[in-house]
Structure formats: C-alpha cells, structure tokens
Structure 1
C-alpha cells in the first residue's frame, strides 16, 4: 500500500507558495515490537508553521528541507504492537503530514471520541484552547468589568479568547476582516462589539467608539497597524498579550511600526509575549475548565474543515488570506 507524504521543498520567500511543498509516495513499513500504525484523520494548519519553514532562530527548530512537515494531528490506530495502544484507539500529537505513519507511542495522547468530537482535540480542547486560556489568564489576569480587545478575533485562538473573557465577566471587542466574521463574533460568539478592519478608515477612533472607557487587556494575534491603533486606547496598568503576528509573518523587510515604549511608560502597562508550552504544568487544569465550559454550552467553537489530504498545502496558504473562521482543519 502506497503512502502519500508532504515535504518542505524549499524555504518560502515572503508568502508561501504551493511550489514550496512536494508530495512523494512511499511504501508503508512493517511494524516492529512497541510500534503502532497510525492513519491520519484530522490535520491542523496554524500560522506559526510559517516560522518553522524559515531557517531563522526561533523557539522551535526549523523544518528541514526535503523532510516531512509536522503539525497537530488526530489519528486512528489501525495496527498495534504496543501494549499501551489498541486498534481503534484515537490519538493526538505532533505528527508528520503523512496518510499513514509509524510511531513508538512517544508524545501520543489518547483521546475520547465519546466525550467530544475528534476535531476539538486540535482546537478548543487542544493547543488552540490552551493558548487562549493560559495566555489570557496568566498574562491578561482579567477582572470582571474590564474591557478586552482581541485582534484576529474570528481565528482559532481569538474566537476562544473572547468567549473565555465573556465567561469571566469582561466586555469583549473583536477585530476581524469581513462583515460575516463581525456578525459571527457578535451573534454566535457573544462578543459585545466587533470591528471590520478592512472597511474602517481610522482604527484608533473606531476602537475608542466601542471602548469609551479604554482598553484594559489586548490579546494580539496580528501585530502591525491594528495593534498600533489599540495602543492609543490602552488604560493605566493595561496588559498586552502577544500571541502572534500573522500580519507580518510573510514580510521580507522589517516592518515600520510606532514605538511602543511611550505607551507602556505613560500607562504603566505590561506587554508580554508567550508560547503555550511556558505553562505546560497548567495544561490539566486548563483542559478541565475548558471541558466544563464546553459541556455547559459556555464555549462554542467555529471550524473551517477542508476535505482531502491533497488539500493540506493550499489550506495552509488560505490562512494568510483570512479564509478561515475559527480553527482551520483538513479532514482526511
């Protein structure tokens, strides 16, 4: 039986292209004792993967050329010679972009399809939900009645952050790129207000209009001019959480931006970047809380699901054109 694999063909310059990826077919190897054979079910594509396609120093090693790309994956155990796993189990982990792959079981987490849909283990109950919950609570430290602004609010992390903040009693304002996303934020996701940055000429004024008492917390997923506009509205002791900067990931030159220091000094504000693994010891309690909210209907989740292994590269590229609402996934 042949097995498709997606390799990094060359390092992108600027926005990634389909030619940066390469499909190959290989034979599936025989299992040895201690191994399992996994069949990919869902593949997660996320903006941070763009950074790993470059060879610049970062918090995770870059992908190697002509080697498989890896990301969060849910897979089914279809054959097992490992006593910890049996045929029919579902697992999640950082796995290769392959239709089938062997594993010795390290790094695999058994997941329960009877408790929540499989896709949620890559989204609200996976790294996406953990990033939202821990970034907000550990750095943002929200208090009831405070105002939070979230950029990339209709994306995977942003859409969860807003709902958590509502559950904690905050006024929630989202920034997104289409009228449909703005409508979704205010209706199904319970945001108090939302702004379409593509149809707004003066973002700083638009934020001031919906946040007349200022901004206490800013959860930043995008960087760039949108984040500059938020700075003009921050309150004293504001907390600015830097989760991502998708607006500048594909830049080939250093972006022009305002100096943040005067805003931070004047307002005694905190700006802190993070990666979710900083808070690994808090994962269990975070998943427990997210699961409770999910079961109680206090968190809903949006997904954009594309069908077919061959669609993985294009679906990744579509992230940078904002074609996703919520978590972007490929179902195999």
Structure 2
C-alpha cells in the first residue's frame, strides 16, 4: 500500500524560513468522496507569495495555521475520480498540497492540455505566473508602442513574460535582475537592456537606460529598486504592483523616503494586481500565451528540483535570487511514460 508524504508548517518563520519551520509526515493515501478526485502529484510549484501565508497576519491570501499541510499549485494525474468531468489518467492542475497525493473537488481542478507544451508549463508560462503577467501587462500596465517599460525581478516566471509581452507591443523594455547570466538571457528574449542591481548603481543605470523617463513600471520587488524607479516616472505613468519580494522576510516594515508626492507631479497611476480577480478570463490569457509560446514569441525557462523531499530547499532558493524562470519540484512521472 502506497503512503503519502506531506509537508506541514511546523512553526512560523522569523525572517528567512529554515528547515525548522517544516515537518514531513507520512499518512495513508486519502480516498476521494462524492464529486472529488484523487490526484497524484507530478510537479509542484513554489512561489514567493507562500512566505506571506506562513505569517499569522491578514493578507490577500489566508494564512496557514501551524500544523497545516502546505499548499501549492500542482500538476498531477488523476488516480481515482468520483466526478463526471474527470477520468483516471487525466492530467489536471489546481491548488493542492505539498504531498504525493491530494484529494480535491472537481470544481477546483482544470484539465491540462499537453498539446500546448510540456505539462510543467501549466504551473509557469501557461499557468498562474503567465496569466498574472498577461493581465498585469495588458489590463493594468497598458503598455503602448514607444513606451519605456521597466520590469523588476525580470528573470522570474512573471517578469520575464511581462517584458516579452511589452516587447511584442513595441515598447523599449528594461529588465532589472540580480546576475549577469540573467541579463544575458533577458536580452536574448526581447528585452532591450538589462541592469544587474547587485553590481550597478541602479539609479544611474536607470537614467542611462531610460533617457526619456519611464512610462510603465512592473514591480515585483519593492525596496531600493522601486525607490530608484520613482523619480523617473513620466506623466501618466502606470505602475503595476505584483510583488514585494524584497520585503517578504522583513521582521519589521521599513520606512523609507516618502515617494507619493511624485504621483502628483506625474499624475501617475499605481495599481495592485491579484490574478484571482481574473478567474473568469483565464481561457483568454491561456489561448494568447499558448499561441505566443508555440510561435516562439514568448520563451521561458524552468528550474526543476527533483523530489518532494527537497521542496523546502526549492522554496528557500526563491529568496536567493539565483534562478532563472519558474521554480518547480518534480515529484512523479506520468503512468504512460
């Protein structure tokens, strides 16, 4: 009889998470109830927003309780279905558990179309990060031909797609990332310029890369990088706030220079972004993204960590800033491979 490994939140982190905050347990494989589906995990996503759910504080995502099983975006294979829309062997995706197996209601799952690309992309460019980038760019940032667009965390799963969509819209695109190899990759997929924030004087580098100012800023990091962008915002600039990864492990909320006065001068718009607000339009985004990927107009990278046992390490890597693209954990193989 197979057992089910699960990762639990064992304690709340102070600052950066460590292995002491996680506990792995083994349980029996659960049985699906009426209208439920048993899913065997193939790939699991780790994402920066998970750090916020480890806090005992209100946010846009409900915090996990100590002792809860960690949750993640998962691509898996249906092992047993009590729902009419799913059959054994279907590949599906949904918010499931850091585990070998999980049970979900059928309404919470979506079938993955393997014809669109490797099934792992349903957690990346053809999943939540890609959809976030699509709507964050097209609906919030609204880049126009000739605009200067700056993207922070530009080599990540969201930022890299944002920059490529902006490039498709005829924009001058500047990406900010933390390694020279990231900059090289960004410039190979359509970014016009890149800035290594760990090596460059970011304010000076931005002034040089954006001589006509900044029309769109897609913010994934906050902190000093965002501070450097602010003085260059043009009249009617749009700022899409998607993430603040530089602050996620902070034990206190930092107070920096007051920046809001610039918005009066620039009449700029700052808007936060949550992909769940677009649930009824995912089909639109996935159709466009799948076409762009198939045509080679949008490229992506995946960093795959092997084994469920290594899921916490894959999560820790997010805050090191050393990886390009989507961070995934491979847990299993499809039964027909």
SS at match of 2:108: coil
SS at match of 1:235: strand
- 1:68-83 paired onto structure 2 within 5 Å: 68-83=69-84
Distance 1:30 1:241, change over 3 A: closer
> Deviation string for 1:6-47 (max 9, x for gaps)?
000011111111110100001113444533321100000000
Q: Please name the residue that 2:231 is paired with.
A: 232
Q: Please name the residue that 1:88 is paired with.
A: 89
Q: Distance in 2 between matches of 1:29 and 1:277?
A: 28
Q: Distance in 2 between matches of 1:290 and 1:274?
A: 19
Q: Distance in 2 between matches of 1:271 and 1:32?
A: 45
Q: Distance in 1 between matches of 2:141 and 2:197?
A: 23
- 1:251-330 paired onto structure 2 within 5 Å: 251-330=250-329
TM-score, normalising length from structure 2? 0.95
Q: Please name the residue that 1:191 is paired with.
A: 191
Q: Distance in 1 between matches of 2:281 and 2:76?
A: 25
SS at match of 1:306: strand
TM-score, normalising length from structure 1? 0.96
CA contact (8 A) 1:42 1:331 kept: yes
> Deviation string for 1:259-284 (max 9, x for gaps)?
12121111111111121112333322
CA contact (8 A) 1:204 1:233 kept: no
Instruction: Say yes or no: does 1:134 pair with 2:160.
Output: no
Q: Distance in 1 between matches of 2:105 and 2:149?
A: 43
SS at match of 1:156: coil
Question: Cα RMSD (Å) of the superposition?
Answer: 1.2
- 1:15-164 paired onto structure 2 within 5 Å: 15-164=16-165
Q: Distance in 2 between matches of 1:149 and 1:110?
A: 34
SS at match of 2:116: coil
CA contact (8 A) 1:204 1:232 kept: no
Instruction: Say yes or no: does 1:5 pair with 2:1.
Output: no
> Deviation string for 1:95-132 (max 9, x for gaps)?
01110122332300011113321011111111101110
Residue 54 of structure 1: how far off its partner (Å): 0.4
Q: Distance in 2 between matches of 1:93 and 1:240?
A: 29
Distance 1:268 1:29, change over 3 A: closer
SS at match of 1:106: helix
* Deviation beyond 3 Å, 4+ runs, structure 1: 29-35
Residue 70 of structure 1: how far off its partner (Å): 0.5
Q: Distance in 1 between matches of 2:297 and 2:156?
A: 18
SS at match of 2:42: strand
Instruction: Say yes or no: does 1:182 pair with 2:183.
Output: yes
CA contact (8 A) 2:116 2:290 kept: no
Mark the runs of 5 or more structure 1 residues left unpaired by the alignment: none
Q: Distance in 1 between matches of 2:16 and 2:29?
A: 33
CA contact (8 A) 1:133 1:161 kept: yes
Q: Please name the residue that 2:334 is paired with.
A: none
> Deviation string for 1:202-249 (max 9, x for gaps)?
211110101111110000000000000011211111111110000011
Q: How many equivalent pairs are there? A: 330
